[in-house]
Structure 1
Amino acid sequence: MKWLSTLRRAALGLVLGMVCPAHGQDAKSEAVTLNDRGKEVVLKNDKVEVTLNKGASTITSIRMGDNDMVARGKPVYYSMGGGASYRQPTGAAFRIVESTPEIAHVAFLQKWKPGSPQAVDIEVHYALTRGESGVYTYATLAHPKDYPDSGVGEWRMVWGMPAKNDREWLMEKIRVDALRDWEMPSPADLAKAKPTGIKEIISITSGPRAGQNDCKYDFNLEYHSVGCWGQASDKNHVGAWIVLGGYDFFNDGPTKQDLSSASGIIHIHFGRNHYEGSSTKLTAGEDWRKIYGPFLLYCNQGGNADQLWEDARRKAGIERKKWPYAWVEDKALYPPAAQRGTVSGKLTLRDPLKPKLTATGAWVGLSQPDPGSNWQNESNRYQYWSKVADDGSFTIPHVRPGNYTLNAFTDGVVEEFEKSNVTVKEGSNPTGDLAWDVKHHGKKIEWEIGIPNRRATEFALGKDYFHGYGWDRFSKLYKNPLVYTTGKSDPAKDWNYVQGAYSKNGKVMPWPWEIHFDLNEVPASGTATLVVAWASAESARVDFDLNGDKIASLNPTGGGNALLRESVHAKYSYDYIDIPVSKLHRGANRLVLTQTRNQSPACHVMYDYLALELP
């Protein structure tokens, strides 16, 4: 009932309006202060008090009312690499960038030392503004031209979540998306958990998650799709969130994913190196700098976990409107809005075999990939992405001036649109009307399995993929071989989201998948095409046999270990297999797909889409 929905929204607004912090810079809010205490510096407004450790470049405390939103002994920190290449920006030179009643902004610069890993300088910034319930942060990396060849892979910020005591968290619920919004194991549950054969996965033996596994990869996210993630409490009525205003500093485009929240922790990965992330590669003589952020460490209070999550998502919308932030110091690295460009146009999609398909909802973006590469594998520079409206129009705001490649992709199309040499200057940059004529190898689509959408979500278990050791379910749920009959089988039930190995009585064996299809007629001549789009592939080789004859054997590109890392896709790719029509039969046909490498559960493929196109 409409009145009931309105009443619920009003009640939520009343709860959050009374207790949750105001958004933006409230004129009635108290001035921001900065107190340098020697080893610490404290930034304070009337919403939060933020304590920074000057020797470690970390946040040791974010006090909101009676609660500290940072774990004791587990500060908010930036780090890079792992193992022998692990690095934190400790011992950095501290400076005050700005201190006024409106903002307290400080920075910590750690210069690279020859012989140490990652030949880049790291400068971490924290900024508290008037009336804001949280602290902004960002970091810049610099590789002067006299530094040697180097690179940056894993590059992140980590926020330790506080516990009330050794038995319970201050915030007991994780909130990242509609599929993953559960109560996490308590500190006591984690202490009792048992290890498994994979170090990141533990088996929970007590509490609300008893009998299930727990792993940081349970909560991998496509950052562009959510805007915020974090943790909140029904019991204590507080929440802690990563809130994004902009995305231009992330690598590999809007389909890229990485870690978000997990039990007792919140991550943000800038290099998004998991799931086959493209590392930043730097060469001697290259003068390179990049800014990562700013983003907001947002704290709220006053509602239950769902209300606090809704408030954080609303806050993400507000931050998007503020982007780019005027207070960022380095105007060359982070130009203000007036020095950026807006790219706009209209995209018309024409697919002769799918005439109802339009460009509505397509991603359209600008990137600067290396020659021969594309946006899926670009990390050194910035990318800008937006969605196409119902009428085909698009607007990409706040683009740094430069020369770009414009790409578009959408559900329903295997390949993508590309326009090179798009020059962006300050102000308005109209592209005019862009025509995307979708190409096909055949004249008729005989059958399809799935939707070309760069992920395997529409298949069986495709919305239940985020579980450690999930592959153990496959041999319990499916027969060997898996048989799919076009026109009769349901892809959401009969086609699993991943093809790996098959286990029976402790033995591992290949798991062939059969596609049965009937043809009323076979073309007299020409070549048919099997379209295979891959959502993920890891150490895989797939043999294709049609009616008893091998027609192809492919090693699909990809990597990223998406099955073990509990995802539904990694890097996207596609292949076309030519089939002489003489190999097709009038009546019954059988196509067999066998993933032949079974030395590890990691070996797998995830199909995004398969289709047979006839000449």
Structure 2
Amino acid sequence: MGSLRSILRSFCVAALLQCAVTTPISPTAPTTKSFLKQIDNSTWIIGNGLWNVTQNKQYATKLWYKEKDLVGKAVGHYVSYNGAASDLSWTSAAIVETGKDYINVKFTALEGDFHWIIYDNLAGAYQYFVNHALPKLGEFRTLWRLDNTTFPKGRTNVKDGLLPPISDYLAGTNVQDETWQKADGTYLTKYDWSAFTRGLDFHGVYGDDVGSWYLNPGKDYINGNHLKQELMVHRESKTGDAVQLNMIHGTHYQALASDNFSDGKTWGPWLWYLNNGSKDDASERAKQEDKAWPYTWFKDTAYQSRGSIKGTLILSDGRPASGAAVFLGDNNSNLTALDQGKDYYYTVYADKDGYFSIDDVRTGTYGLQAWSNGGALADVTTSFLQNAIAVSENKTSDLETLSWKVADRKNRIFQVGDFDRKTVGFKLSGPTPYEHGRIAKCPANLTYTVGLSKQEDWCFGQSALGTWSIVFPSSSENATSVAARLSVSLAGFSGGSSANILLNSVKVGNITTNSALLPSSQDTYRGATQAGEWHLLEFPIAKTALKAGFNQLDFQVTTSTRWRGWLWDSILLEYI
């Protein structure tokens, strides 16, 4: 029977795949050339001598690699937007470019074109998508759902290990979307497999003898800034599929990330890579892709048209903007850097002298932003913004010295936490950036005394009914004669909990669910402990509100929803 199957398989290859699509091409077939073969109006087979996949109208199944189907009973590969609500439906496929050792296969849908660039001797393929008619959307993704026994493990740059078996889901109690409580009281959630997108080297699912990885060098086509986070891998709770996500436009930890895209907007190319399960090999390949980006072989005029910028940020008090987060994004946008996503985006950090440079920027006109990343700028509340930054092909735009207006530090009464848009330094903010329900471990009541307490005494997030207090002194000469300003910087906010802010028992402000100033994101709700959607709230303090001697600032939670609340960045009180 085995020899008969081999004969039939060889016959299929010799007959150029004029056989039933249920018979995959063997990786030992006597050809290594990349190919596309159309079976009928909604079925195609693509691949090379190392792998091949059967692409149907929506799903790519029967991924044949190392003499095994890696999809099995799982769903396979597909492209979708707004979650699973809209899977792209392919109407045709064609080879649109041929090289000595590769082909470029285009699958066409109403919304746009998905390309597989298949090299003859590469296990995997480069992929990219060209928009033509996508609707306004928040989530746009490509993904693999693969056999759960072949791929028992997942890997991001912050989490690596066994994916939970489906039996754990079946035995647990569902407590919110894709989150279960186990019998021992711990939680099981797919969101533990999230990561900061721009700091990610590679991610995927793997087993003892095979690995499937996404390598995304450049990342300029992905929405958001330095603190952009996305779900990367997980176990599908209903079927057990091993899920490998490529969230090329995502919203998992955001509130307003919804965009319209121009015709021709291109995501990618990235590399989908198969190997023997070796993380070291995948890491080395990722480094090679980073060095090769932007790809010289990608024959797209807009993609190849690039320049660079450089400059030096100096604060108005004379300090260099040491370590500042620098973002190049939309020109004249009314969106935050995290929520921008219609075009292309670049992120770096300034050096100790405030100098920064960004290479390989697509030509165009951009807006430049910068903000504190803590450290030497821990006291800087303001952001830098300059629009109309022109990037020309093969040229460097020298912005020279840029002046960044900051407040006088001498007016400071107290500050708790660094301004860096993160919870780092507070109690329970680490070591890992994700854990469902960790916010519930923060106390309901807490007192922080300026001059005695340490930063780590303040917990990373607040949600429970109760009061957190900051006790601080105020000098007698300023207490009743000078107005002040309270700056409350939140690293994230999941609507459902609210608080009144009281100074010496008098209400001066609030942190309020459903406020226009605080659009709700899914950060604390999805177990984020270090960052989410950043917000800066500022409240005026009247001259008569402070008193000589000790004062007390209270954050009194009046409404609480389990696992929903806010992540702390910094709290600053200063004279103005």
What TM bracket, shorter-length normalisation? Answer: 0.7 to 0.9
* One of 298, 306, 315 as aligned partner of 1:328: 298
Residues 393-439 of structure 1, C-alpha deviations (whole Å, 9 max, x = no match): 32212222221111122312333211111111111223242334341
- Displacement of 1:574 in angstroms is 0.8
Residues 55-107 of structure 1, C-alpha deviations (whole Å, 9 max, x = no match): 336354151x3555445432121111257xx2212242111122334212211
Secondary structure in 1 matching 2:311: strand
Matches within 5 A, 1:313-392: 313-329=283-299, 331-332=300-301, 334-336=302-304, 339-349=305-315, 351=317, 358-369=320-331, 371-392=333-354
Secondary structure in 1 matching 2:93: strand
- Displacement of 1:537 in angstroms is 1.8
- 1:526 is aligned to 482
Residues 348-400 of structure 1, C-alpha deviations (whole Å, 9 max, x = no match): 34557xx5xx4343332321255433433322221122232344332212222
Matches within 5 A, 1:276-315: 276-282=254-260, 288-301=263-276, 303=278, 308=279, 310-315=280-285
- Displacement of 1:136 in angstroms is 1.5
Residues 532-569 of structure 1, C-alpha deviations (whole Å, 9 max, x = no match): 11111233543211112222234452311211111132
Alpha-carbon contact 1:522-1:581 (below 8 Å) kept: no
- Displacement of 1:200 in angstroms is 0.9
Residues 1:201 and 2:205 aligned together: no
Residues 314-368 of structure 1, C-alpha deviations (whole Å, 9 max, x = no match): 3323212222223435x24x422xx21112233334557xx5xx43433323212
Larger displacement relative to structure 2 (540-549 or 557-566): 540-549
Residues 562-584 of structure 1, C-alpha deviations (whole Å, 9 max, x = no match): 11111132211212222234322
Distance 1:94 1:288 in 2: 20
Distance 1:596 1:441 in 2: 34
Distance 1:277 1:382 in 2: 19
Larger displacement relative to structure 2 (48-57 or 132-141): 48-57
* One of 454, 472, 475 as aligned partner of 2:421: 454
Matches within 5 A, 1:36-435: 36=37, 38=39, 39-45=43-49, 48-56=50-58, 58=60, 60-61=62-63, 63=65, 65-66=66-67, 68-82=69-83, 86-111=85-110, 121-143=111-133, 150-163=135-148, 169-178=149-158, 180-190=159-169, 192-204=170-182, 212-233=186-207, 236-263=208-235, 264-282=242-260, 288-301=263-276, 303=278, 308=279, 310-329=280-299, 331-332=300-301, 334-336=302-304, 339-349=305-315, 351=317, 358-369=320-331, 371-411=333-373, 412=378, 413-435=380-402
2:509 counterpart letter in structure 1: A
Distance 2:87 2:546 in 1: 60
1:55 counterpart letter in structure 2: K
1:497 counterpart letter in structure 2: F
Distance 1:254 1:138 in 2: 23
- Displacement of 1:516 in angstroms is 1.2
Secondary structure in 2 matching 1:394: strand
Residues 281-327 of structure 1, C-alpha deviations (whole Å, 9 max, x = no match): 44xxx963311111111223375xxxx1x443333232122222234
Secondary structure in 1 matching 2:429: coil
2:76 counterpart letter in structure 1: P
Distance 1:394 1:448 in 2: 28
- Displacement of 1:485 in angstroms is 1.5
The root-mean-square deviation of aligned C-alpha atoms, in Å, is: 2.8
1:50 counterpart letter in structure 2: N
Distance 2:333 2:475 in 1: 46
Distance 2:334 2:518 in 1: 16
- 2:3 is aligned to none
Distance 1:247 1:594 in 2: 41
* One of 471, 474, 493 as aligned partner of 1:537: 493
Secondary structure in 2 matching 1:151: coil
Larger displacement relative to structure 2 (258-267 or 373-382): 373-382
Secondary structure in 2 matching 1:335: helix
Secondary structure in 1 matching 2:303: coil
Secondary structure in 1 matching 2:420: coil
Distance 2:234 2:93 in 1: 31
- 1:484 is aligned to 448
Distance 1:491 1:224 in 2: 28
Alpha-carbon contact 1:213-1:468 (below 8 Å) kept: yes
Alpha-carbon contact 1:50-1:135 (below 8 Å) kept: no
1:132 counterpart letter in structure 2: L
**TM-score in terms of structure 1 length:** 0.78
Distance 2:404 2:368 in 1: 15
1:218 counterpart letter in structure 2: D
Residues 1:614 and 2:575 aligned together: yes
1:482 counterpart letter in structure 2: L
Distance 1:298 1:170 in 2: 16
- Displacement of 1:472 in angstroms is 4.1
Alpha-carbon contact 1:33-1:101 (below 8 Å) kept: no
1:550 counterpart letter in structure 2: K
- Displacement of 1:520 in angstroms is 4.9
Alpha-carbon contact 2:316-2:406 (below 8 Å) kept: no
- 1:548 is aligned to 505
Residues 1:495 and 2:458 aligned together: yes
Shift in CA distance, 601/473, structure 1 to aligned 2, threshold 3 Å = same
Alpha-carbon contact 2:57-2:90 (below 8 Å) kept: yes
Distance 1:287 1:261 in 2: 29
- 2:407 is aligned to 440
- Where does the alignment leave 5 or more consecutive residues of structure 2 unmatched? 1-30, 236-241
* One of 464, 470, 479 as aligned partner of 2:438: 470
- Where does the alignment leave 5 or more consecutive residues of structure 1 unmatched? 1-29, 112-120, 145-149, 164-168, 502-509
Distance 2:448 2:439 in 1: 20
Percent of aligned pairs with the same amino acid: 23
**TM-score in terms of structure 2 length:** 0.83
Alpha-carbon contact 2:157-2:202 (below 8 Å) kept: no
Residues 210-257 of structure 1, C-alpha deviations (whole Å, 9 max, x = no match): 763221211222210113222334xx1543221111211112222111
2:273 counterpart letter in structure 1: Y
2:101 counterpart letter in structure 1: E
Shift in CA distance, 60/440, structure 1 to aligned 2, threshold 3 Å = farther
Distance 2:411 2:75 in 1: 59
- Displacement of 1:53 in angstroms is 0.9
Distance 1:104 1:432 in 2: 42
Distance 2:523 2:346 in 1: 25
- Displacement of 1:481 in angstroms is 2.2
- 1:514 is aligned to 469
Distance 1:152 1:449 in 2: 38
Shift in CA distance, 395/69, structure 1 to aligned 2, threshold 3 Å = farther
- 1:12 is aligned to none
